[in-house]
Structure 1
């Protein structure tokens, strides 16, 4: 089968440890071009990856060997680049968040409908083997009837320090890359994959730290992102849900997700708080068990994923690409797409309204 040609806009830090090694290991995809905003970086990326490097995204979009365009840049640039890719008739794989706010997400989803092309959004956390196994265990009755779930995590960034001014955009709420839109939603998507959607949600978004230090020069920058995210709600199943995400890291647990039911409990933990890249551990107990013990995840959940990628931040990205390859081969549509992303942006909007008004929001 002829590989699907991929062009990456923004082959930087994240793409270099996720998309690029996954594409290199996959027989279904082939890297065909990269694009950056500067000639020097485009030439460096081209030399590194052995493909054409463009300093204008329009040239990448015009490359006939590029079938799918990966947009892996700051979210504030997504709308312009994704709109152009859709206008060019390309499949688009956008990193999450899809857009900077609900209005942009609605417009991009509409443009995708009009273009009639496949779309993908990088909400890969649901493909972690531990998450998929937990979903199957819940479905098969391991915990009985789900009573409630609690999820506590750390954003890892948005702490008291940031390495450089080039990363300071994380702390400005206007830029759309916040603890709520990024770390929390990357964790909520697997939660909803396993347990179903929110029926109603209440929220409290708090700007805890008012300033952060840029370590490269010691300067101080203002913090306008809510770095303490507290949600409480009811799932469509009737189960209670409580979610708390903090900016920065904890000296305690950086990720702990419990699913509690009438007959048992499941616990997913990780040392790293960003679920989409974390190395998760799954434990459980039921019946007469007095503690939760390790549950080994069958190797079948990692079928087709190269061993060298499975236990890396690229592991779940590889699983998403593998599912996308199956979709393309079978004519199915199972991977998270722009319509799914729009539903998640509507959830973000509901959370922000709930926090601003103090009134729980319905997601019906």
Structure 2
């Protein structure tokens, strides 16, 4: 099979943060990635910016440079359009390609809110675009192993689960200028729509969705100072994004989950009390329990992947606790942590297995957006 020809949107040499560079390029420029994919075009804010990125990242000189989403959408050579921009420009940059019927891979969040995400999903159904969304936690080997344990009946039927999650950074009263948009709900990219949403998504991938839930939010530090690290200038702003979310719900009953099983998730931006593990997830079954923990917080789909993430299983009858082994694929090991699960999504797409594996498409993303919007608004 010939390599899939990719157009990347958002690979910038001047961006404050570049998920394209840290999350996508590690796989795409690896030997495995280059055998399966070929970057043939970039779309940036201007054609000139795209050319600078091509040079800065050492891409072949024949990679095309685009400055408008409409021009990219007309390129018949592109098999897959990958959007990695800031979330508030996902809609405008990807819509022309979806309208043209191209296959697209859009990073999470899909759009600023559920309404706009729904518009993209409806358009994709009309044009026949094959879609994929970067909820890459579903492809984490930790999550794959947990699903296997639950479905194999390792702890019997699930009766409850509880999660406590803190983020290693943030939680203070200041923010860098480059990330100031995290404090504005309307932008759509913030700790709740990103960190919390990724976490609740991979939890649901293991346990199934809520039948019903309620949530409580708090903005503990609304007054924020924005710091421009280049000029040392500061300004004040008010955040309207919660930095604490507590969700309580009842899971849908299934072959592996008992009727009435509870899921409780407590998420807070910022580190925990010293000496406290920032991420602990306990799944209780009628025959045993599973505990997953990580010293780098809930980001098991990205940065925390570089740290130990032990899975422990307890048998209630015997009281025995055992370590459950899991492992990265050999080709994932050399990649930086943030690119390993993204690479798994690319692999599943190339092999035509992303639907059977449960990788999120636009319709699944809309469902998650609706859940997050119900918490934020």
TM-score when normalising by structure 1: 0.88
Of residues 348, 361, 364, the one that matches 1:323 is: 348
Of residues 25, 29, 43, the one that matches 1:24 is: 29
Partner in structure 1 of residue 257 of structure 2: none
Q: 1:49-198 residue pairs with structure 2 within 5 A?
A: 49-50=59-60, 51-156=63-168, 158-160=170-172, 164-198=176-210
Of residues 40, 45, 49, the one that matches 1:41 is: 49
* Deviation (angstroms), 1:315: 1.1
Of residues 273, 289, 312, the one that matches 1:283 is: 312
Q: Which runs of 5+ in 1 are unaligned?
A: 354-364
Residue pair 1:305, 1:319 contacting (<8 A) in 2 also: no
Partner in structure 2 of residue 3 of structure 1: 3
- What stretches of structure 1 move > 6 A for 4+ residues in a row? 330-333
Separation (CA, whole Å) in 2 of partners of 1:224 and 1:240: 29
* Deviation (angstroms), 1:18: 1.5
Residue pair 1:159, 1:212 contacting (<8 A) in 2 also: no
* Deviation (angstroms), 1:58: 3.0
Q: 1:233-248 residue pairs with structure 2 within 5 A?
A: 233-237=249-253, 238-248=260-270
Going from structure 1 to structure 2, the CA distance change for 1:193 and 1:332 (only over 3 Å counts) comes to closer
Deviations 1:57-105, CA, capped at 9 Å, x for gaps = 3333333322111111111111111211112221111111111112111
* Deviation (angstroms), 1:163: 5.3
Separation (CA, whole Å) in 1 of partners of 2:96 and 2:89: 11
Match of 2:352, SS state, is: helix
Separation (CA, whole Å) in 1 of partners of 2:188 and 2:119: 16
Partner in structure 2 of residue 306 of structure 1: 332
Of residues 207, 218, 222, the one that matches 2:219 is: 207
Q: Which runs of 5+ in 2 are unaligned?
A: 13-17, 254-259
Match of 1:208, SS state, is: coil
Separation (CA, whole Å) in 2 of partners of 1:249 and 1:319: 29
Residue pair 1:327, 1:334 contacting (<8 A) in 2 also: no
Partner in structure 1 of residue 291 of structure 2: 267
* Deviation (angstroms), 1:157: 5.2
Separation (CA, whole Å) in 1 of partners of 2:215 and 2:153: 30
Going from structure 1 to structure 2, the CA distance change for 1:190 and 1:35 (only over 3 Å counts) comes to same
Deviations 1:204-224, CA, capped at 9 Å, x for gaps = 011111122334234333211
Which is worse superposed, 153-162 or 244-253?
153-162
Residue pair 1:267, 1:292 contacting (<8 A) in 2 also: no
RMSD of Structure 2 on Structure 1 (CA): 2.2
Match of 2:246, SS state, is: strand
Partner in structure 1 of residue 19 of structure 2: 14
Partner in structure 2 of residue 257 of structure 1: 281
Match of 1:18, SS state, is: helix
Deviations 1:102-158, CA, capped at 9 Å, x for gaps = 211111110010110100000010111111111101111111121111112124555
Residue pair 1:158, 1:171 contacting (<8 A) in 2 also: no
Residue pair 2:173, 2:221 contacting (<8 A) in 1 also: no
Residue pair 2:167, 2:270 contacting (<8 A) in 1 also: yes
Residue pair 1:160, 1:211 contacting (<8 A) in 2 also: no
Going from structure 1 to structure 2, the CA distance change for 1:332 and 1:236 (only over 3 Å counts) comes to closer
Which is worse superposed, 140-149 or 45-54?
45-54
